[in-house]
Chain A
Amino acid sequence: MQEILQYLFSGITNGAIYAVIAIGFSMLYSSTELINFAHGEFVMLGALCMVTFFGAFHLPLISAIVLSVVCIAVCGLVFERLAIRTVRHPEPIVLIIITVGASIFLRGIGMIIWGKDAHTIASFSSHPPLDIAGAKLLSQSVWIIAILLATIVGLQLFYKKTLTGKAMEANAISKRAAWIVGIPSRLMVMLAFGLSTAMGGLAGVIIAPITMSSYDMGTMLGLKGFCAAMLGGLGSLWGALLGGFLLGILESFGVGFVSSGLKDATAFLLLLFILYVKPGGIISTASVKRF
């Protein structure tokens, strides 16, 4: 019982991180139909920015988080402007290669700035782990889940209550129709890019205290976040959330009860399963697009 609870806690913690990454993927996909293979690298940059701002410069927690996320969002905007909008024939395969090129580029940048060593920082607050029925819940896990919830509430408010958010949603539904009613679609795409990479950066920020941050951590995290997004249903916020938690918990139980070698395979086995059975994801709209 105690063991199960412990696995569940670590599953939920990882799941929350996958969910944040998956939200970034989904957000971008719903407004641009683009899969950003460099997304994981933004997670890496977020974590390493946090290492610098919080770990090395000792900025106050909130300003370190905000500064890191803003830095990553700006990187995302620059990336969109320079590498995505300039593409003349935006076919999937071309965009895949460009984002993969960007991911290699960003990894190289990360290596030059932060070196090849792994970095670690202290937890956001120095509370001792909570003891729930014999299982330990790290204070950082509470932080991660709280930040995830705050993000979701914030995003919901943004999409449903603000004009910009509604315009973004309209743009995601139909670019042309949105354009006709006067929504600047280019700006919306740019905004979606900025928000999506900010999500990646945020995932990096909250994961930094519980992992070894290094320039090569991004690829696997990105791919897993991607699996989570697919699992729940690409393009849906709730799908990303569900997929993230499902993946995190299954992975954690897989490690606990089957084998630790299986950890990374879980995500991809789930991905194949969902693609074969229900390619639209668990939460999918009535018409499943297989393209």
Chain B
Amino acid sequence: MISHTTRNRIAYAIFLLTIVISGYFLENLYYLQVLTFIGINTLLALALNMLMGYAGQISLGHAAFYGIGAYGTAILTVHCGFSPWLALPAAVAAAMLVAYVVGIPTLKLSGYYLGMGTLGFGMIVNILFREWSSVTGGASGFIGIPTLELGPVSFASGRNYFYLVWGCVLVGFIACQRIIDSRIGRALRAIHDGENAAAAVGVDTQKLKLQIFVLSAAISALAGFLYAHLVYFISPGTFSFIASIRMVTMVVIGGMASIWGALLGASLLTLLPEWLHAFSEFEMVVYGLILMVVMIFLPRGLTRGLLDIYERTVKKSTR
């Protein structure tokens, strides 16, 4: 039996290899672009999974942090003439600060009430993006976000950006895995299972929830930064309530409290609209149906649900 850590190392090695190989062999720019989007969505799903899956705190307004990352870098690079590499820490810090300030009162709530508080916050940030047109460009969006460059390497081409995004995903995965396997991770799961019980055994639940909220905001802002410099154009619609819901869906469909579930959920939710284009008019109907059916029959997400079905059949056949 290999230990947990070794198994993780092997998994990440295989993951890294897959990234390098697919980046090397893929020629079609469209595929590279779709994979890059999957990477960005994976970061978002990872961020929300840390909060929702592990700490058990729902957020229906996470697109706000995604948006703060994107608008942060857009405003700093275009209006203030910052280098994108300086704008990145600034945008992430801004998202973390907002998360800290908002998190203090909001994370005292739980259940539906927490969902509503985060929803309200997300809506307000989105309205800000839309109405503060002198700074954000308003409803028509923000154009002219510069290309990322690092010395001689330009991240304009599909392949370089693909590596950049998936590099971030890999680092994010490993960092989150290490947090989960640590003392903090165990404390988080204790909060998930029972907040009062966790507090009773000495976990500072308020502080820990706030920390994980801020971490989650930081990862989302990083995803926003990557998104802004990939498409050069951002508009408030990308960071709306629907976007927050899509993030939650990625986490839940993929499987809560699972790092690889984030990858699965993000891949499915990114690819699904691409496949559903064939349905044209019926796209929304089919999308809604899929969401409902998966949740009705596999409420613990695809990863866990399929594993359950597998285990059940194995048990039956050995009996």
| A interface list, Cβ under 8 A from B | 35, 83, 86-89, 91-94, 96-98, 100-109, 111-112, 219, 223, 226-227, 230, 259, 261-262, 264-265, 268-269, 271-272, 275-276, 279, 290-291
How far apart sit A107 and B111, CA to CA, in the bound complex (Å)? 26
Tell me how far the C-beta of A18 lies from the nearest C-beta in chain B, rounded to whole angstroms: 15
How far apart sit A272 and B117, CA to CA, in the bound complex (Å)? 6
Closest chain B residue to A86, Cβ basis: B296
Q: A271 contacts B120, CB within 8 Å? A: yes
Q: CB-CB < 8 A to B58: which residues of A?
A: 92-93, 96
Can you list 12 contacts pairing A with B, beta carbon distance less than 8 Å? A97-B291, A101-B289, A108-B285, A109-B285, A261-B127, A261-B130, A265-B128, A268-B127, A271-B119, A272-B124, A276-B106, A290-B108
Tell me how far the C-beta of B112 lies from the nearest C-beta in chain A, rounded to whole angstroms: 6
Q: A108 contacts B295, CB within 8 Å? A: no
Q: CB-CB < 8 A to A275: which residues of B?
A: 105-106, 109, 113, 116-117, 120
User: Given that A101-B288, A104-B291 are contacting pairs, would A227 and B105 also be in contact in the complex, using a CB cutoff of 8 Å?
Assistant: no
User: Given that A104-B284, A112-B281, A272-B120 are contacting pairs, would A97 and B295 also be in contact in the complex, using a CB cutoff of 8 Å?
Assistant: yes
Q: CB-CB < 8 A to B286: which residues of A?
A: 108
- Listed stretches B176-184, B227-235, B241-249; interface member: B241-249
Residue of A107, A112, A227, A291 touching B120 (CB-CB under 8 A) = A227
Residue of A108, A219, A264, A271 touching B288 (CB-CB under 8 A) = A108
Q: A87 contacts B124, CB within 8 Å? A: no
B110 part of interface (Cβ distance < 8 Å): yes
Q: CB-CB < 8 A to B283: which residues of A?
A: 108
User: Given that A107-B284, A269-B124 are contacting pairs, would A35 and B299 also be in contact in the complex, using a CB cutoff of 8 Å?
Assistant: no
Size category, B interface: 35 or more
How far apart sit A101 and B285, CA to CA, in the bound complex (Å)? 9
B23 part of interface (Cβ distance < 8 Å): no
Q: CB-CB < 8 A to B215: which residues of A?
A: none
B191 part of interface (Cβ distance < 8 Å): no
How far apart sit A111 and B282, CA to CA, in the bound complex (Å)? 9
How far apart sit A109 and B291, CA to CA, in the bound complex (Å)? 15
Q: B112 contacts A111, CB within 8 Å? A: no
Extra pairs beyond A265-B131, A290-B113, A291-B111 (5, CB < 8 Å): A97-B249, A98-B291, A98-B292, A111-B281, A223-B241
Q: What are the 4 closest A-B residue pairs judged by CB atoms, nearest first?
A: A105-B288, A108-B284, A101-B291, A291-B111
Tally of A-B Cβ pairs under 8 angstroms = 135
Q: CB-CB < 8 A to A223: which residues of B?
A: 119, 123, 241
User: Given that A96-B248, A272-B124 are contacting pairs, would A101 and B295 also be in contact in the complex, using a CB cutoff of 8 Å?
Assistant: yes
Q: CB-CB < 8 A to B299: which residues of A?
A: 87-89, 91, 94
How far apart sit A103 and B110, CA to CA, in the bound complex (Å)? 24
Tell me how far the C-beta of A192 lies from the nearest C-beta in chain B, rounded to whole angstroms: 17
**B 239-295 contacts with A by CB, 8 A:** 241-242, 245, 248-249, 252, 256, 281-292, 295
Q: Which of A86, A108, A261 has the most CB of B within 10 A?
A: A108
Q: CB-CB < 8 A to A88: which residues of B?
A: 296, 299
How far apart sit A87 and B281, CA to CA, in the bound complex (Å)? 28
Q: B120 contacts A105, CB within 8 Å? A: no
Indicate with 1 or 0, residue by residue over B121-137, a CB within 8 angstroms of chain A CB atoms. Answer: 10110011011000000
Indicate with 1 or 0, residue by residue over B83-108, a CB within 8 angstroms of chain A CB atoms. Answer: 00000000000000000000001101
Q: Which of B110, B120, B127 has the most CB of A within 10 A?
A: B120
Q: CB-CB < 8 A to B60: which residues of A?
A: 96
B146 part of interface (Cβ distance < 8 Å): no
Indicate with 1 or 0, residue by residue over B35-75, a CB within 8 angstroms of chain A CB atoms. Answer: 00000000000000000100000101000000000000000
How far apart sit A261 and B296, CA to CA, in the bound complex (Å)? 39
Q: CB-CB < 8 A to A226: which residues of B?
A: 116
Q: A268 contacts B296, CB within 8 Å? A: no
Tell me how far the C-beta of B154 lies from the nearest C-beta in chain A, rounded to whole angstroms: 38
Q: Which of B105, B117, B290 has the most CB of A within 10 A?
A: B117
Q: B282 contacts A268, CB within 8 Å? A: no
Q: B105 contacts A276, CB within 8 Å? A: yes
Q: Which of B249, B282, B286, B299 has the most CB of A within 10 A?
A: B299
Q: CB-CB < 8 A to A107: which residues of B?
A: 284, 288
User: Given that A97-B291, A108-B284, A109-B285 are contacting pairs, would A92 and B127 also be in contact in the complex, using a CB cutoff of 8 Å?
Assistant: no
How far apart sit A100 and B121, CA to CA, in the bound complex (Å)? 19
Q: A111 contacts B110, CB within 8 Å? A: no
Residue of A93, A105, A219 touching B285 (CB-CB under 8 A) = A105
B167 part of interface (Cβ distance < 8 Å): no
Q: CB-CB < 8 A to B242: which residues of A?
A: 219
